[in-house]
Amino acid sequence: MARYDLSWGERDDLLARVVRGLHAARKVWRRAGRGMSRYLPKRLYARSLIIVIAPMILLQSVIAFVFMERHWQTVTQRLSQAVTRDIAAVIDVIETYEDAPERAGEETGDGAAGEQVIDYSEVIRIAQERLALQISIEPPDPFPAPGPKPFFSILDRALSEEITQQINRPFWLDTVGNSNIIEIRIQLEGKVLRIFARRSQAYASNTSIFLLWMVGTSLVLLTIAVAFLRNQIRPILQLAEAADSFGKGRPTPSGFHPRGAEEVRRAGSAFLLMRERIERQIEQRTAMLTGVSHDLRTILTRFKLQLALAKSKADIHALDQDIEDMRLMLEGYLAFARGEAAEDPGKFDLAAFFDKMREEARLMDCGFEASLSGKREVLVRPNAFSRLLTNVINNGFRYASTISVDAVHGKGNLVITIDDDGPGIPPEKREEVFKPFVRLDAARNQDESGTGLGLSIARDIARGHGGDITLEDSPLGGLRVVIRVPA
């Protein structure tokens, strides 16, 4: 036996090749998986059905193949063998019958040896009564042209093989014509034997019953699986709906409670506890900020009163302006805190709001256009949503001379696009302006208090409704604000 010794370098090179091959195979497998994922359904219900149906179809296919291969084909082969054996026996009887002189009929002619007229009625009777075969002896005419072979030709193939092996004479076979009868013609010496047999004699006809039962039971099991899966998926869908409603700032759907499988109930209970903790935290934060605001307002009121009673008027104006700025900043902080406060959803009239903005634009001597496609009413938290639009549009009023608003409400979404011809915001600063208290030099994100909370409050409210705000370049030359919320 030859022996091959590899050096350490050759072994390392071989190992490296194996590793590269495994990495390549892994990449191909991942690529194939990603390709298949494009065509797989995305919903849990459909994927669960596939998990149930795919093994069932695979199992049924294997059973059907084994049955056809082991049972159907074997039974058909044996039945065909028996029918062919009966036909061979009939042929032997006919040939023996012809050779027996006592079976011969009268001789024709004037006494000279002539052709015998043989009566095959007894052979026909025996074949019919004992073998259930209808036979006839016919002149030696040519066989008909071969007919088309059936696509599923177990019987045709089995009979042809058996006739060739047992009889070994020219024959013609028709298993396609009458579905209940098969016809066989066999060339004998000076004649043709024509046989009609029932298909069930040579074919396992009860196989269709087996397949029918197999398909029927599969449909019954599939119906039960569909009903069971639908019952199991429904709690998951209800949990998703409750989480989606919470993300949009809406109350929990009526009648929602954890149910279903243990894991789903645990997830539902955890969601309800999480919602309670978040709502309690928001309430506590809002109450705390409200109390702080009240206390600070009291102090600011005292400052203003002391300034009003002061005898020296030299620095009163500057101090009074500082106090007013503090008051406005305090209002901005409180408004930002209220952005997440619980407010019951209600109907908000977009057309009425745009009419109000037109009047405000007229007073500020700004150009304002608004268009609305779809329903004018949208289900949101009205006060918060009004503040969202007011912050964004008023921001445009301060830095632009023309504002255009386009609202599209349809297919479960509300998209409001606000364009202006102002100075705009550089692309690299567009995310930064949404941070609380951020102010730019060429500021567009400042609210009236100058605290930089305007766009922060707007995005906070939009995300509280399950949407978002993005900034883009406007065709008017300024800034485009796109507000998207589910509605």
Per residue in 237-260, pLDDT (tens digit) is 888 888 877 776 677 777 788 887
376 and 304, same domain (yes or no): no
User: For position 415, what pLDDT does the model report?
Assistant: 93
Helix (H) or strand (E) holding 454, with range, is helix 454-464
Residue 157 pLDDT greater than 70, yes or no: yes
Give residue 36's domain range.
Answer: 27-101+118-247
Is 40 domain-assigned?
yes
By three-state DSSP, how is residue 365 classified? coil
327 and 360, same domain (yes or no): no
Confidence of residue 310 (pLDDT cuts 50, 70, 90): low
| Whether the Cβ atoms of residue 84 and residue 163 lie closer than 8 Å to each other | yes
d(CA 395, CA 439): 13
Is 16 domain-assigned?
no
Given 202, 217, 247, the domain boundary residue is 247
**If you search the block for the tokens 């399950």, which residue do you land on?**
466
- What residue type is assigned to position 79 of the chain? L
d(CA 282, CA 272): 15
Nearby residues of 75 by Cβ (< 8 Å), 6 or more positions away:
204
What DSSP assignment string belongs to 187-207? EETTEEEEEEEEHHHHS-TTH
Given 342, 377, 412, the domain boundary residue is 342
d(CA 397, CA 417): 15
Token readout for 337 is: 């805190």
427 and 306, same domain (yes or no): no
d(CA 126, CA 92): 13
Of 93-102, 370-379, 406-415, give the lowest mean pLDDT range: 93-102
Is 134 domain-assigned?
yes
Token readout for 476 is: 């008017």
User: Which neighbouring-strand residues pair with 185?
Assistant: 172, 194
* Residue 455, CA distances (Å) to 35, 348, 354, 387, 388 in order: 42, 21, 19, 11, 8
212 and 293, same domain (yes or no): no
The CATH number assigned to the domain holding 417 equals 3.30.565.10
Residue 46 pLDDT greater than 60, yes or no: yes
Is 300 domain-assigned?
yes
409 and 434, same domain (yes or no): yes
Count of domains for the chain: 3
Is 355 domain-assigned?
yes
352 and 329, same domain (yes or no): no
User: For position 336, what pLDDT does the model report?
Assistant: 60
| Whether the Cβ atoms of residue 420 and residue 405 lie closer than 8 Å to each other | no
Is 144 domain-assigned?
yes
Query: How does pLDDT run across 432-469, given as a tens digit for each residue?
Result: 888 776 666 544 444 444 556 778 888 888 888 888 89
223 and 263, same domain (yes or no): no
The CATH number assigned to the domain holding 326 equals 1.10.287.130
Is 31 domain-assigned?
yes
- What residue type is assigned to position 132 of the chain? A
Given 284, 313, 342, the domain boundary residue is 342
270 and 395, same domain (yes or no): no
285 and 384, same domain (yes or no): no
| Whether the Cβ atoms of residue 212 and residue 67 lie closer than 8 Å to each other | no
58 and 68, same domain (yes or no): yes
Confidence of residue 370 (pLDDT cuts 50, 70, 90): very high
54 and 185, same domain (yes or no): yes
Confidence of residue 403 (pLDDT cuts 50, 70, 90): very high
Rounded to the nearest 10 degrees, the angle between the axes of helix 121-131 and helix 73-99 is 160
Mean pLDDT of 351-374: 90
173 and 188, same domain (yes or no): yes
User: For position 110, what pLDDT does the model report?
Assistant: 44
Is 458 domain-assigned?
yes
